[in-house]
Copies of this chain bind each other. A is one copy, B any other.
Amino acid sequence: MAWREQILKSLKKNSRLPYARYAQLATVREDGRPANRTIVYRGFLQDTSKLTFVTDRRSKKIGELRANPSVELCWYFPQTREQYRIAGTMRVVKVDDEDEAMLRARGEAWKRMSDGARSQFAWPFPGIERGVDDSAFSPDPVTADLPPLEEFCLLVLDPERVDHLSLKSNERTVFSRSSEGEGEPTAWDRLRVNP
């Protein structure tokens, strides 16, 4: 997975910018229009080529992903002037997921977050009209020893195609998954294309 090593290298070279971990996730709404929002990269799933994120079960992307799990993540690294376009399918891991390993990964992602980020899952329903009482946005600290709130979901992106562009060198490489054999290591084709 040459592209995975490349992303880890990009993360390192951009590490002085906290927002280098922010990327934009595109999904398709149930009416066929695209949706696009910023999301925070939360690491690869162990040593796989799957990328993880977290979200609130009440957010609109949950329904969008149920109807159409196809996504494209666009990730721009300002320091190195690189763009990755990562297309694939997104799996949502909720509190009642039947896959033990995925539930464990969800629990670990919960523990790795800050108290502040965790407490957002106790906030009022996102996106609806805001009331006058702001106290609900300052809940008691949600510490790592508490189990994940039910609203907390892990997102796992399984890439099928990664398009890497360097604006510095004008090099562009497209990686495409070429085999999907169960248990076998995934093979990737690599093509140098015009920028």
Bound CA span A19–B36, Å: 18
22 A-B residue pairings within 8 Å (CB atoms): A24-B26, A24-B76, A25-B36, A26-B26, A26-B35, A26-B36, A28-B33, A32-B68, A32-B70, A34-B34, A34-B72, A35-B85, A36-B36, A38-B76, A78-B78, A123-B195, A127-B194, A128-B193, A129-B191, A129-B193, A129-B194, A137-B170
For window 30-84 of A, CB contacts with B under 8 Å fall at 32-38, 68, 70-74, 76, 78, 83
> Which residues from B are CB-within-8-Å of A74?
24, 36-38
Asked if residues A70 and B34 are in contact (CB atoms below 8 Å), the reply is yes
Asked if residues A32 and B38 are in contact (CB atoms below 8 Å), the reply is no
- A17's closest neighbor in chain B, by CB? B78
Copies of this chain, how many?
2
Query: Whole-angstrom distance from the CB of A66 to the nearest CB of chain B?
Result: 15
List the 8 closest A-B pairs by CB distance, nearest first.
Answer: A26-B26, A26-B36, A24-B24, A26-B34, A36-B74, A33-B70, A36-B72, A24-B74
> Which residues from B are CB-within-8-Å of A123?
194-195
**Size category of the binding interface on chain A:** 35 or more
Bound CA span A28–B34, Å: 6
> A13 interface residue, CB < 8 Å from B?
no
Which of B38, B83, B126 is close to A195, meaning CB atoms less than 8 Å apart?
B126
Contact mask A71-111 → B, CB, 8 Å, 1/0? Answer: 11110101000010101000000000000000000000000
> A192 interface residue, CB < 8 Å from B?
yes
> Which residues from B are CB-within-8-Å of A78?
17, 19, 78
Which of B37, B87, B130 is close to A33, meaning CB atoms less than 8 Å apart?
B87
- A191's closest neighbor in chain B, by CB? B129
Bound CA span A51–B100, Å: 47
> A141 interface residue, CB < 8 Å from B?
no
